[in-house]
Amino acid sequence: MPRARATSPRECPRCRGTVRPSAASKRESRKSSPTCAVSTPPPASPKTEEAMLDVQLLRADLAAVAARLATRGFALDTATFEALERERKDIQVRTQDLQARRNSLSKQIGQAKARGENAEALLAEVSGTGDETKRLEAELANVQAKLADFLLELPNLPQQSVPLGKSEHDNLEVRRWGAPRTFGFAPCDHVEIGERLGGLDFAKASKLSGARFALMRGGVAGLHRALAQFMLDTHTREHGYTECYTPYLVNAATLTGTGQLPKFAGDLFHVTKGEYAEDEEAGHKYYLIPTAEVSLTNLVRDEILAPERLPLRLTAHTPCFRSEAGSYGKDTRGMIRQHQFDKVELVQIVRPEDSHAALEELTGHAEAILRRLELPYRVLALCTGDIGFGSAKTYDLEVWLPGQNAYREISSCSNCEAFQARRMQARMRNAQGKTELVHTLNGSGLAVGRTLVAVLENYQRADGAVDVPEVLRPYMGGVGELRPA
RNA sequence: GGAGAGGUGGCAGAGUGGUCGAAUGUACCUGACUCGAAAUCAGGCGUAGGCAUACGUCUACCGUGGGUUCGAAUCCCACCCUCUCCGCCA
């Protein structure tokens, strides 16, 4: 690495937008009806939310931002921000004054020379300022990089309808669908079922790669493929999504746009081109996508969209690669938590005023898959302490797993509002002709591996066979059951 | 892997050191003409940011990052990307 450059990701959160003090948020009552009272959009205009984490808002009402970030367990370092801002302002004003003076004098020199006049006096006046200008410019770049780094580490602000809480235990169940089946025998978990079918082999996978990989064979592999096909077909034909095939290797700017970088580099896998060393220039480095949300959402990076093109509804079936750092010992059995798994992802790019409704809609699209597969599930509104880094509001779908006697996450649907759009500079032209950040949403529709687990466990029979769900049979050449080998 | 060409505003396309943030065309917006439209004419029309209550003003941006210079789209270096031809390859 020839020169050590300050780590400044290509994107920096340049921000604009209306500044509105956030009203004190009152948590919605929890005793409300089993369906989603909590999902009612807050009365405040979406504009309020859109401005969130805009540096303008931090300048205008730092205390309010800190208070709302605190609800999700993030301690905003207000002193550091204020100090950086003070420094930035001072240096920026001085730098720009100096640049303006230099530009003006240089222009005069040009004009003088064009007229054939002597410009010595002007030259003498400007020549001494060069070093000072360079010094200030460097200083400014430095403080702005620090500020950008600071802002890139800030998580999104939760919507006011998000239940307050510290951890996953405080998530709010919004609704349930279907009833767990009662078995006339002790249900097995998918590892046992899969091995009996000769279709799941974790020993072979670990020989090839190591822990947290799976090998599927025969009918189980076919069922896995059928699930992905069924999901894609449903979303494209019935929910209005456009199917995409995307790169699985992406660059750092792309991952910064959706929020995985710089903060979560440890959760990712990366690769380099054969001849380049690990730590070569960033340009040679690729990251394996942890979800197709990354590639799909970044399609609008650095774009200004015509509003009539919105909403964009995109879907893709891709493998996802996650290092699962920090989850040692968690879900080590079976294929619940893998380094590589397939997912059909749903992404929507919408106008700011539409994103609340779009989250409900998108969550419904993911639910439709579970319903068609007749898998019992429940919907959780994640609490402030449990929502993801870039999310303003998230619903998790949890499917019933008889083998674990528990509901387990199978989809996560989030409204990121302008958070990713600001990082990506993804905008639209509004009615006033001004650029305005779009809102982005994403959700699994669904995680294919976990859906396979759910099918195996919910459709298992006492004789060790597994019934194929009705809707998948056309994808399985009419096969109605998988039998033990 | 080898050889060559190129990256400028929504698009096309000028611009090889100085009133260039950028000609011209086209698209788009406004106005005039018209019953209306077309055509024509006039004007406007990039993005981000700073300062200012505001009128406004300043800064940055011509693939990216450095460098030379009073001054860089223009000169130098590195990198990225695109295209063409040859080779190899699913």
Percent of chain A exceeding pLDDT 90 equals 64
Q: Which residue is nearest to nucleotide B79 (CA to C1')?
A: A283
Q: Is A337 a catalytic residue?
A: yes
User: Is 70 exceeded by the pLDDT of residue A9?
Assistant: no
pTM of the model: 0.86
pLDDT value at residue A38:
27
pLDDT value at residue A138:
87
Q: Is A86 a catalytic residue?
A: no
Q: Contact at 8 Å (CB) between A464 and A347?
A: no
CA atoms within 13 A on the CB side of A2: 2
Q: Is A68 a catalytic residue?
A: no
Distance CA A70, CA A53 (A): 14
Using the Cα atoms of residue A419, residue A420, residue A422 and residue A427 in order, give the sign of their dihedral.
negative
Residues in chain A: 485
Using the Cα atoms of residue A39, residue A45, residue A48 and residue A51 in order, give the sign of their dihedral.
positive
ipTM: 0.86
Q: Which nucleotide is nearest to A14 (CA to C1')?
A: B48
pLDDT per position as a tens digit, A91-120 = 999 999 999 999 999 988 988 888 877 778
Confidence band for A60, pLDDT divided at 50, 70 and 90: confident
Catalytic residue among A196, A295, A450, A457: A450
